[in-house]
Structure formats: C-alpha cells, structure tokens
Amino acid sequence: MPELPEVEVSRLGISPHVESQRVRAVRVWQPRLRWPIPDAVHLLQGEPIIQVRRRAKYLLLDSTHGSLILHLGMSGKLCVVPTQTPRLKHDHFELELETGKSMRLNDARRFGAVLWQPANETHALLANLGPEPLTEDFSADHLFQQSRGRSAPVKSFIMDNHVVVGVGNIYANEALFASGIDPRRAAGRISKARFQRLTQEIKSVLARAIVQGGTTLKDFMQADGKPGYFSLELSVYGRAGEPCVVCERPLLQKRIGQRNTFFCAHCQR
C-alpha cells in the first residue's frame, strides 16, 4: 500500500499540471471503488483547482465548491497524460483539464477512493486525525503524553493515525531500527528521551523517502511512471534472516498488529 512518502511524491508529481487549471470534464468510468464515487464530484466541472494538498494518505484537490478526495488504496496510481491518450484497462476516473491534459486514477484492485468534501466541512475520514509527522506539531512531547498508560507495542502505537498520521509499516520498521527501540516494547514504558530520538528518526526516514521518490515494492510508481528508489536504503524491512547492517546478526521477523515486523533483537532494546 502506498504510504505517506509515496502519496506526497504523487502530490508533487501532479501539482504542476493540476493547480490553477480549470476542469473541462469529469469522467467516472468505474463508480464502484472502495466506496461508490459520489455524484458531487461533478461539481468540479468548469472550476479551477485552487491547490493540491495532502492530509495523511489522502490527496485533496481544492475548488470553491469543495475538495475532491483521492486515496490510492493498495495499488492506485495517478498519472497526467494528454487527453487523447487511450484509456487503460484499470483507468477508473479522469479529470480533463483545459490544458489538453488529463489526470487519471488507475487502480487494478479498486481499493482506492474518490470522494467529495463540501466547502467548509471536514469529511468523516479526515476527522480526529493526529498531527502530520513532518510538522512541528509532531514532537517527543506529543508522543510521550499520548503514550502514558498505553500497553500496546510501540510499533502499533506510532502507526495509529490518532497519534500521528502516515507512519506506515515500512517506515515504522525503519524508524524504530534507527532509534534502537524494540518494536515489541510497550509504548507506555518508553522514556521521553527515547521518544525524542524516535521523533527525529520518523521525520528523517520520511523526508529521505520523499527525496528518493518513495519505496517501490510491488505496485507503487511515481506520477511520471518512474519507480521510487528508497527501497535501496531499507535497513530492516523485508530483510528477515539477513545480517543486521550494524551488528551483522540475523534480522528477525514477527507479526505485530497483523503486520510483518522486522528488527534486530541485539541493536533494538
């Protein structure tokens, strides 16, 4: 599933082509995605896209009437192509722009979403979310306060969107390794000093992944069709049984919160 860096890379990829451009036509080829595409998305027709924003793993295309909300699901991809480009098999949604280009959502598994948020309202999916990890609102103080009394594993804790948004499985594994924290450790038993290191590493790993264009494992591709290269820098994710890059002992793999978790039992305590 595309994580925050991949969604941010998609935002950076489509923004120059979409922002400040007027929508000539809205086309829904497959209305049944994760949720039915609402008729309200046609309110974009004739309207300029004011800006393209990201909130957690959602992209928002703002107009005066409201915001188009996009989620890439498991395998969704956004691309900008000349409007006359033949439609591909799994192209489900299109915004045709007055520039002669179109933004299309391609999603083979159809777990993505195209939704609508009226102006001056907040969609239920975006309500009650935690802070963005790359902002000043995300801090060691925040993690420490939120963690008190929590017995959940710290990996599950930092992947909770009510605590902080967008720290998906890949980057949670990597940040915990860089912080030297065992992902199985109870969140409420971690000191503020260790949360300070973890906060820094979450910010660092996400920022580096964005610069590298995300992590291509199976389905993710950038808006220009190029793969993300952060997978070349992964220290633990997907490397069970391989030597730790620090101590050279074999890395372990466990299930935490129904997600594969990779770590070094020697370096992470």
Residue 120 has pLDDT above 80, yes or no: yes
Identify whether 3 is a catalytic site residue. yes
Structure confidence by residue, pLDDT tens digits, 32-85: 999 999 999 999 999 999 999 999 999 999 999 999 999 999 889 999 999 999
Catalytic residue, candidates 11, 54, 57, 155: 57
Superfamily of domain 4-126: MutM-like, N-terminal (3.20.190.10)
Q: Which fold has domain 140-263?
A: Helicase, Ruva Protein; domain 3 (1.10.8)
Structural contact between residues 171 and 98, judged by C-beta atoms closer than 8 angstroms: no
Structural contact between residues 28 and 52, judged by C-beta atoms closer than 8 angstroms: no
Which pairs with CB-CB distance under 8 Å and at least 24 residues apart come from 232-237? 233/208, 234/170, 234/174, 235/174, 235/177, 235/178, 236/173, 236/174, 236/177, 236/262, 236/263, 236/264, 237/169, 237/170, 237/173, 237/174, 237/262
Identify whether 136 is a catalytic site residue. no
- The Cα–Cα gap between 48 and 202 comes to 35
How much is the mean pLDDT over the chain? Answer: 92
Residue 191 has pLDDT above 60, yes or no: yes
Alpha-helix residue ranges (DSSP H) falling in the chain: 4-18, 140-147, 154-158, 169-179, 192-211
Beta bridge partners of 94: 27, 104
32 is in an annotated binding site: no
Residue 85 structure tokens = 């480009």
pLDDT exceeding 90 applies to what percent of the chain? 85
| pTM score, whole prediction | 0.88
Q: What is the model's pLDDT at position 1?
A: 65
Q: What is the model's pLDDT at position 211?
A: 82
Largest CA distance in the chain: 60
Q: What is the model's pLDDT at position 223?
A: 52
Q: Residue 71: name the closest of 24, 159, 158, 3 by CA.
A: 3
Q: What is the model's pLDDT at position 227?
A: 44
Catalytic residue, candidates 2, 5, 133, 153: 2
Over range 206-234, report the average pLDDT: 59
Q: Give the end-to-end CA distance of the chain in Å, rounded to a whole number.
A: 28
Q: What is the model's pLDDT at position 6?
A: 86
Residue 110 has pLDDT above 80, yes or no: yes
Residue 225 has pLDDT above 60, yes or no: no
pLDDT tier at 219 (50, 70, 90 boundaries)? very low
55 is in an annotated binding site: no
Q: What is the model's pLDDT at position 136?
A: 95
Q: What is the model's pLDDT at position 212?
A: 78
Looking up tokens 């069709």 gives 225
Catalytic residue, candidates 22, 34, 203, 259: 259
Identify whether 2 is a catalytic site residue. yes
Give ranges for CATH 3.20.190.10 in the chain. 4-126
Give ranges for CATH 1.10.8.50 in the chain. 140-263
Structure confidence by residue, pLDDT tens digits, 144-171: 999 999 999 999 999 999 999 999 999 9
- The Cα–Cα gap between 145 and 195 comes to 10
92 is in an annotated binding site: no
Structure confidence by residue, pLDDT tens digits, 10-26: 898 899 999 999 999 99
